[in-house]
């Protein structure tokens, strides 16, 4: 978490006071939760002049075969990709989204060999087209999804497992997901759809108690994570990490 977090980009939320020290503590707890669930975590150094740099999800999409280095949709975030790309190049063959295309990883939801990609204020048709050209040789299908009223696709829909999604249909065109089962978040918790699946359970933000109750009723093992200060920066559980398998194909 950057000490300049209070200067983060905002689109749908009003700017309020962010307790950066608390945000840093919550980020540390988030990392501890990932590690406790058997995930090896590499944390990159603080980027003091880049308020949104902790939201690493937007900078790269990692598939088993390759990595795609994204091109953020805001000029202020373009410098964020450098440090992430340096790390990613050591573990994957990399492909880059080129201007005028824009693509942010928060708009890319992978379900097996299908990539659902949000057409949002941060990801444009050219970026989606470039992604499609990059991943097609590896057997992936790209399906655009209309996003309205929220920042990224995964703000409004995340995967609980390969056959079930949690979504806010007011923000996401859920028809794009076809026969996949979609659970709808409670209306009073529109931000509750941003969850993070780890082996054996689903991480859910503490700010969404009704969503936690809903998922528990569906038989989903849930772990609650408090990211209240980070959410003031219009971020969620997925934003803070890029999860990938280390058993990449050559």
**What is the spatial distance between Cα 18 and Cα 196, in angstroms, rounded to a whole number?**
23
Instruction: From 242, 185, 183, select the one nearest 208 (Cα to Cα).
Output: 185
Catalytic site residue from 8, 70, 150, 239? 239
Handedness of CA 87, 89, 91, 94 (dihedral sign): positive
Active site residue 239: yes
Handedness of CA 233, 164, 36, 204 (dihedral sign): positive
Active site residue 95: no
Rounded to whole angstroms, what are the CA distances from 143 to 4, 35, 74, 173, 191? 36, 32, 23, 12, 23
Instruction: From 104, 98, 115, 100, select the one nearest 9 (Cα to Cα).
Output: 104
Catalytic site residues?
Answer: 152, 239
């Amino acid at each position: 978490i950057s000490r300049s977090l209070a200067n983060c980009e905002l689109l749908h939320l009003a700017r309020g006071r962010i307790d950066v020290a608390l945000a840093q503590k919550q980020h540390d707890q988030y990392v501890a939760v990932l590690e406790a669930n058997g995930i090896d975590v590499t944390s990159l150094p603080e980027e003091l002049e880049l308020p949104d740099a902790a939201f690493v999800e937007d900078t790269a999409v990692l598939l088993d075969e390759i990595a795609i280095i994204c091109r953020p949709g805001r000029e202020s975030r373009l410098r964020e990709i450098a440090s992430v790309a340096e790390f990613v190049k050591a573990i994957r063959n990399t492909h880059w989204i080129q201007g005028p295309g824009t693509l942010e990883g928060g708009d890319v939801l992978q379900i097996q060999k299908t990539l659902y990609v949000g057409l949002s204020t941060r990801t444009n048709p050219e970026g989606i087209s470039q992604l499609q050209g990059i991943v097609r040789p590896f057997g992936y299908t790209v399906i655009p999804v209309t996003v309205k009223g929220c920042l990224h696709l995964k703000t409004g829909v995340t995967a609980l497992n390969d056959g079930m999604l949690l979504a806010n249909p007011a923000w996401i065109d859920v028809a794009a997901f076809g026969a996949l089962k979609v659970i709808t978040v409670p209306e009073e918790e529109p931000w509750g759809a941003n969850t993070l699946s780890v082996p054996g359970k689903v991480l859910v933000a503490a700010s969404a108690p009704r969503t936690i109750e809903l998922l528990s009723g569906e038989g989903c093992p849930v772990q609650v994570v408090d990211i209240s200060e980070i959410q003031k920066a219009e971020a969620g559980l997925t934003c803070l990490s890029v999860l990938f398998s280390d058993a990449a194909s050559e």
